[in-house]
Amino acid sequence: MSINFPLLLVIAVAVCGFLALLDLVVFAPRRRAAIANYQGQTGEPDQSTLDALNKEPVLIEYGKSFFPVLAIVLVLRSFLIEPFQIPSGSMIPTLEVGDFILVNKFAYGIRLPVVDTKIIEVSDPQRGDVMVFRYPSDPNINYIKRVIGLPGDVVRYSSDKRLSINGELVPEMLIGEEPGSLGSAKLYQEKLGEVDHLIRKEMARYRIEPNREWRVPAGHYFMMGDNRDNSNDSRYWHDAAIPAEFAGMVPDRNIVGKAFAVWMSWPDPKFSNLPHFSRVGLIH
């Protein structure tokens, strides 16, 4: 079952905020009135009695305690930075399974939590950005890929595994065989826009028919993983509920944010392996 954490967080903040407000408006004045009445009836007020009269209801106490913490988490997570963990190898060698990353939530505009309506324009995704977004066929699932095609672009992937944008080959340079692959996989340095990054290709694997071409509609983006032959991305998404011209495209409303840093890695916690920080750094 998929849990809508942003919705739960908003509800928790609203409930705790309501309890805090209820105490401020209703219960706190009652407590002060009870204390004043008690002090007026006795010459030497008993401290334990005063403490009992001033005691907050348990529910109010918890609500007031959690409200500022949850409110700060909501603001940070919704408008500034949100952490994610990489669950698959689709972005190898840039990101590995178990990497914990930070995502800039305001890079592409300020959006309201839950409804995800953009209220402040900041900037648009750029070719080469590593972006987190909600999977078009199931918005409850977050994906991370690299921005390949911008609105209006024509993207082509050829039979020799070369990427072209608007009729021009994307520059790439062979780095060498992937260590441990025995020649079955090679690493290349690719340049998308102003971004230089590594990609991985498997020499004996080709998942899609050759020479496919896509035109990116307005307000949409074409996404691919850096692990080019092991990535479920825009090249493969087909959904009968989505019109053919938008198949494989990520609409602007599904954007979550720009991934910018790895802060920890923990590849296999179920086997009690310890997290490590050897991969900490900025994402390119």
As annotated, the active-site residues are 90, 145
Find, among 228, 90, 235, the residue nearest to 149 by Cα: 235
List Cβ neighbours of 176 (8 Å cut-off, separation of 6 or more).
186, 187
Note whether 220 and 252 are within 8 A (CB). yes
Distance CA 117, CA 44 (A): 59
Cis geometry, peptide bond prior to residue 93 (ω within 30 degrees of 0): yes
Task: Please answer whether residues 187 and 176 qualify as being in contact, where contact means their C-beta atoms are separated by less than 8 angstroms.
Answer: yes
Burial of residue 129 (CB within 10 Å: 0-12, 13-18, 19+) is buried
CB 240 within 8 A of CB 206: no
